[in-house]
Amino acid sequence: MLASMLSLPEKNWFQRLIIGTILFNAVVLGLLTDNDLSPDFRSVLVMLDHLCLLIFVFELSLKLIGQRFRFFGDGWNVFDFVVVAVALAPASGPLSVLRTLRVFRLMRLVTVVPSMRRVINGMLGAIPGTAAVGGVLLVIFYVSAIMATNFFGQAEPQYFGHLGVSFFTLFQFLTMEGWPDVARPVMEKVPNAWMFFIPFMALTTFTTLNLLFGIIVGAMEKAKADEAREDLAAQGIEATEESDALRIAVIEQNVQKISQSVSALKEQLQKLE
């Protein structure tokens, strides 16, 4: 009885039930944003929301009991756990902000649908490869924020008054949104300010693009490799983790061996004549 209960989370129908519950919960939480709801209907919706939460808690407890401490070894399980735990936290006092965050529960859709999970896995997997670019971007931002605060803090305290505000304004520059509205008033007081703004934008937009494309390309390559691995497994071929260049070198070596063997055989057979 207990064993069959604990194997529930692996069952296909159970997983589909969970996806259904997440979608249903999404609709309920969406309806709850309407302020003109009748109090009766609202209390019904809140009850349904609690019911969904109950199902999630049930599912996670089964997993937790079944896997013990290994449960927390999987990042997705930790995500699921945190997201459900947030909803269980008291919704009053200093934690009231958590009430709004209970919506994060719907993010579980991403963790439950395998294809979406693969996309996220690919992106996360690509992050280490682009960490250096991210670091460069961070350094540029930090140095620029300090410079901008020193240069323009007095001229435009609204935009560059202290480090935090400068960071926000610089992020605005990065998105290129309304940057002339900020730059022109500053330039009225500090005419040479363009020498800061324009290199900053050129540098950061380029670096950001570099970063984003690096992650995307890396993620896509990883997704492709995963897919190939599945295909190979289906055909009973062992997949390797080696790089393409190394694999081609091995193939070259083997082809050379083949041609050597063939010519040796040819020589042998020629002796017969």
Partner 1 sequence: MQSIASLLANKLFQKAIIGVILLNAGILGVLTLPNLDSALAKALHWLDQACMVVFCVELGLKFTVLRFGFFRNGWNVFDFAVVAIALAPATGPLSVLRALRVFRLMRLVTAFPSMRQVIAGMFASIPGVASVAGILLVIFYVSAIVAIGFFGETDPENFGNLGATFFTLFQLMTTEGWPTMARTIMETSPLAWIFFITFILLTTFTTLNLVFGIVVNSMEEAKEEAAWETMEAKGVMPSHQSMEVRLAIIENTVKSAAADLEALQAPIELLVNARKSSKSKDI
Residues at the site binding partner 1, with contacts judged by CB under 8 A: 26, 29-30, 33-35, 99-101, 103-104, 106-107, 109-110, 113, 115-116, 118-120, 123, 168, 171-172, 175-178, 212-213, 215-216, 219-220, 224-225, 227-228, 231-232, 235, 237, 239-240, 244, 247-248, 250-251, 254-255, 257-258, 261-262, 264-265, 268-269, 271-272
151, 161 Cβ separation under 8 angstroms: no
CB of 171 to partner 1, least distance (A): 6
CB of 6 to partner 1, least distance (A): 29
Based on CB atoms, which residue is closest to partner 1, 17 or 123? 123
How far apart CA 64 and CA 70 sit, in angstroms, is 8
The DSSP output letter for 155 is T
Both tokens of 175, joined, read 């998105």
Pick from 228, 243, 248, 156: which is nearest to 196 by CA?
Answer: 156
Q: How many CB atoms lie within 10 A of CB 235?
A: 7
Based on CB atoms, which residue is closest to partner 1, 70 or 117? 117
How far apart CA 201 and CA 195 sit, in angstroms, is 11
Based on CB atoms, which residue is closest to partner 1, 71 or 167? 167
Based on CB atoms, which residue is closest to partner 1, 31 or 62? 31
243, 172 Cβ separation under 8 angstroms: no
24 Cβ contact partners less than 8 Å away, ≥ 6 residues apart: 48, 52
**CB burial class (10 A; 0-12, 13-18, 19+) of residue 268?**
exposed
CB of 240 to partner 1, least distance (A): 7
CB of 69 to partner 1, least distance (A): 29
CB of 3 to partner 1, least distance (A): 33
Based on CB atoms, which residue is closest to partner 1, 195 or 228? 228
